[in-house]
Amino acid sequence: MESWILGEFLNEAWKIWLAIALLLLISEGINPGTFAVSFGGVGALVNVVICFISPGFAGNVTLQILAFSGVTVFSLCFLRPIFVRLIHRESKNSSPNIHAGKKAKTITPLRKNHFDGRVLFEGTEWQAVLAEEFQEDIPVNRMVEVVKREGLTLVIKPQESPGIK
């Protein structure tokens, strides 16, 4: 009976790898700063395909783990530089000031010389830093203004009050 249960489990290996892939890719979508996580998702998706093609592969957990690890490392080493170049090319072609003047809302406090701030901007969570000329911290749940974008980080300043210039 134990071999039947193990056999059923291994026949369903593609479902497990699909769940892992979705988990990794969704976590990348939720927190875009975790760029490397998506390559694990690619490795898991490759395992899904191989499990469909080869029943022998689906029955061998060791091969699955080796394939997942190999594809993930390959993706990190060879595909990541291609994606980084594409992202940098895109950010060079687009003006860093394209977001300037738009509003965002702080999710975490923004503090001088700290680089761990987060804001909600146009429905997406972004890494944010306080513009150099501002000394006062900005607390959570405050509306702020985007000064510019530097890569995947927004440079933020406090939002001006309507009566103050």
Q: Which domain holds residue 19?
A: 2-93
Residues 130 and 79 reside in one and the same domain:
no
Q: Give the pLDDT score at 163.
A: 45
Residues 111 and 57 reside in one and the same domain:
no
Residue 163: inside a domain: no
CB 148 within 8 A of CB 96: yes
Residues 84 and 108 reside in one and the same domain:
no
Residues 17 and 87 reside in one and the same domain:
yes
Please state the pTM of the whole predicted model.
Answer: 0.49
Q: What is the pLDDT along the chain (165 residues), one digit of tens a residue?
A: 445 454 555 568 888 999 999 998 888 777 765 666 778 888 999 999 998 888 788 888 899 999 999 998 998 888 777 776 776 665 554 555 777 888 999 999 998 888 888 999 888 888 999 988 888 889 999 999 999 888 788 899 988 755 444
Strands 124-130 and 153-158: parallel
Q: Give the pLDDT score at 143.
A: 93
Residue 98: inside a domain: no
Residues 109 and 89 reside in one and the same domain:
no
Residues 53 and 110 reside in one and the same domain:
no
Residues 128 and 62 reside in one and the same domain:
no
What are 91's two structure tokens? Answer: 């950010």
Q: Give the pLDDT score at 108.
A: 92
Give the CA diameter of the chain: 78
Please identify, among 50, 73, 93, the residue that sits at the C-terminal boundary of a domain: 93
